[in-house]
């Protein structure tokens, strides 16, 4: 195979979207298709046909391509339930927990597992999809150790040592922001900014407020300022949501980094750029991983499983 | 007037309910009427007629009774906008900012003002209604100094010195709990408890988690455990909401008390009992103020204004 020949089909299937990429041996994207069909929105038994329909032209042109999916597609209500690999989990443990099956309309297909950890007090935490992205970032960036942040609805902060995820924590930052903006009193005075911005005055105000929080419960006070700053016209309406976003992201970064001064952000470019700017103001240097980490991590798994060489 | 004769009409009018009490000279309730008409849900100009209709029998029996209202009724979208008294604010400052008017169908009526403060960094905070309850608690309990908590949708923690509110902070605890339970992924596995309880295992688990939070952003992680504890069946579904409630209330108490070991809770008995139990576990002793603090505080204002003797 030349490096630009199709080598496998990479599927990133979460709760809110389906994305399939025709990928070469370097994990580069040759073609893609995406829909807003979340992995948990299909009925049991419908997943295989859904995938086959979407990627039929690719399989027609290159029969026998392996298909690998990661994300919530491996949850109990997804395609095939995959187990959680338990921390510490690197490519070996994650490949061992990957489900490999033969699907009549697809040929050989794989579903990556999630990863599970427990903190010092025995409280569990889970990820599905992020473990594969972290493997991809490790492959792309050549390291074996580090702190990784995967920002989003449920942001993950993971610590990697010697190529294995040794522990991680989920922060509900994105969802807390969304429900407060949409369903609480805070949203009433907010006006959407005129355009998407990485940094704004409101965002910076929120980051600085995050740094000054003394006790954890003060976060419940500082979010209320998204109302009082508006009431007293201290912050323009189009900056109130930015203040709230900066406050929550800032608090997440300070807790997730927990004193570390550097890390790597993985995710959509608009979001990782925002996290990098925020972290920089808070004294944490974030590198940004390539955007095709999912395919890169899946490639690592396919090689470890000897499905690709 | 004998002590059980009607002396004034006390109205507690917030965003979600209207409550009027026929009160004697001790602030005791002789009769009451309540509806779910929030002060901001009426159109401008409708408030006077609404009140007159509800309390007509009382005014017929005892014409000329003064009427006094406190709460969001004094907001811009309420009955008559009242100014904010500025901290430090005691009975003198609050009485001075009280609006006294003559309403054709009611006679003499008063609307208490809100109170406004600024923290060391100039960030504003506001209350409407709670200032009157604090005056009532001071009158009932005989002190001049202390820490007061008024739990609720937007909990207030206020510090009083020499009879004046010197500063306070709002914590969005109740509303954050409600929006997370109703609109976030956390609510999906929650089952309502079989009956209202002051303390439960889930609540205690949440309080203990609050105590162990290290950095403010860890709150965004600890709330996610209301999902993982459910996923791994560590906490029964009917205790998940209790965990979240305990976590948020515990974080609020530790931040609001900020090292203080004692305070006074003002509010509905079910809520103050819950806060007292939570605070006790966290090393803070809360006394509970009488439940008619609004009428008691309004009585203080009417006397200060020489409307009552």
The first and second tokens of residue A38, run together, are: 């979340």
Q: How many CB atoms lie within 10 A of CB B205?
A: 21
Sheet with A164-171: strands ordered across: A164-171, A155-161, A146-150, A262-265, A285-288
Contacts of B113 (CB under 8 A, 6+ apart): B74, B82, B83, B84, B85, B94, B97, B98, B99, B131
Cβ of A76 under 8 Å from any chain B Cβ?
no
Q: What is the CA radius of gyration of chain A?
A: 21
Distance CA B300, CA B29 (A): 16
Tell me the sheet residues that pair with A127: A115
Residue in B with minimal Cα distance to A172 = B220
Cβ of A261 under 8 Å from any chain B Cβ?
no
How many alpha carbons fall within 13 Å on the CB side of residue B106?
24
pLDDT of residue B4: 83
Q: Do A217 and B231 touch (CB under 8 A)?
A: no
* Regions of chain B where pLDDT drops below 50: 1
- pLDDT tier at A100, thresholds 50, 70, 90: very high
Q: What is the pLDDT of residues A130-143, one digit of tens each?
A: 999 999 999 999 98
How many alpha carbons fall within 13 Å on the CB side of residue B41?
11
Q: Do A215 and B251 touch (CB under 8 A)?
A: yes
Tell me the sheet residues that pair with B4: none
Work out the minimum CA distance from B309 to partner chain A, whole angstroms: 37
pLDDT of residue A219: 98
Work out the minimum CA distance from A30 to partner chain B, whole angstroms: 35
The first and second tokens of residue A284, run together, are: 């944490």
Pairing type for strands B155-161 and B164-171 reads: antiparallel
Residues of chain A with C-beta less than 8 angstroms from the C-beta of B121: 212
Q: What is the pLDDT of residues A77-86, one digit of tens each?
A: 899 999 999 9
Q: What is the mean pLDDT of residues A29-47?
A: 95
Distance CA B144, CA B90 (A): 10
CA distances from A248 to A155, A204, A209 (A): 11, 12, 10
- pLDDT tier at A293, thresholds 50, 70, 90: very high
Statement: residue A265 has pLDDT above 80: yes
Cβ of A215 under 8 Å from any chain B Cβ?
yes
Q: How many CB atoms lie within 10 A of CB A57?
A: 11
Q: How many CB atoms lie within 10 A of CB B283?
A: 12
Strands (E), chain B: 8-13, 18-23, 29-35, 67-70, 84-86, 99-103, 107-111, 114-118, 124-127, 146-150, 155-161, 164-171, 262-265, 285-288
Statement: residue A35 has pLDDT above 70: yes
pLDDT of residue A192: 73
pLDDT of residue B197: 62
pLDDT of residue A191: 83
pLDDT of residue B55: 96
Cβ of A255 under 8 Å from any chain B Cβ?
yes
Cβ under 8 Å to A: B residues 141-200: 154, 169-173, 175-176, 179-180, 182-186
pLDDT of residue B189: 86
pLDDT of residue B290: 95
Task: For chains A and B, count residue pairs whose Cβ atoms are closer than 8 Å.
Answer: 152
Statement: residue A197 has pLDDT above 70: no
The first and second tokens of residue A266, run together, are: 């993985």
pLDDT of residue B94: 98
Minimum-distance CB partner of A255 among B172, B217, B255: B217
pLDDT of residue A194: 59
Distance CA A261, CA A277 (A): 14
- A100, with CB counted inside 10 A (0-12, 13-18, 19+), is middle
Distance CA B35, CA B19 (A): 7
Statement: residue A3 has pLDDT above 80: no
Residue in A with minimal Cα distance to B214 = A216
Residues of chain B with C-beta less than 8 angstroms from the C-beta of A151: none
Statement: residue A2 has pLDDT above 70: no
pLDDT of residue B210: 98
Q: Do B251 and A173 touch (CB under 8 A)?
A: no
């Amino acid at each position: 195979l030349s490096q630009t020949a199709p080598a496998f089909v990479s599927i990133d299937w979460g709760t809110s979207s389906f994305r399939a990429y025709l990928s070469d041996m370097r994990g580069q994207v040759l073609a893609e298709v995406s829909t807003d069909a979340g992995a948990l929105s299909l009925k049991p038994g419908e997943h295989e046909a859904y995938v086959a329909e979407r990627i039929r032209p690719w399989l027609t042109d290159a029969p026998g391509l392996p298909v690998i999916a990661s994300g919530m597609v491996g949850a109990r209500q997804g395609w095939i339930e995959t187990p959680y690999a338990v921390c510490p989990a690197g490519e070996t443990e994650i490949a061992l927990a990957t489900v490999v099956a033969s699907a009549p309309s697809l040929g050989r297909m794989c579903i990556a597992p999630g990863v599970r950890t427990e903190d010092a007090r025995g409280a569990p935490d889970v990820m599905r999809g992020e473990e594969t992205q972290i493997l991809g970032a490790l492959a792309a960036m050549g390291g074996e150790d580090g702190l990784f942040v995967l920002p989003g609805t449920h942001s993950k902060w993971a610590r990697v040592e010697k190529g294995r995820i040794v522990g991680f924590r989920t922060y509900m930052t994105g969802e807390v922001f969304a429900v407060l903006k949409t369903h609480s009193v805070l949203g009433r005075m907010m006006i959407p900014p005129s355009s998407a911005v990485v940094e704004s005055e409101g965002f910076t105000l929120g980051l600085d407020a995050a740094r000054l929080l003394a006790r954890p419960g003060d976060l419940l006070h500082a979010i209320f300022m998204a109302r009082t700053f508006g009431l007293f016209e201290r912050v323009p309406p189009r900056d109130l949501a930015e203040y709230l976003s900066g406050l929550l992201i800032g608090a997440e970064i300070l807790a997730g980094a927990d004193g570390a001064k550097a890390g790597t952000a993985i995710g959509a470019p608009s979001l990782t750029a925002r996290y990098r700017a925020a972290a920089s103001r808070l004294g944490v240097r974030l590198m940004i991983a390539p955007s095709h980490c999912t395919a890169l991590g899946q490639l690592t798994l396919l090689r470890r499983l000897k499905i690709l060489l």
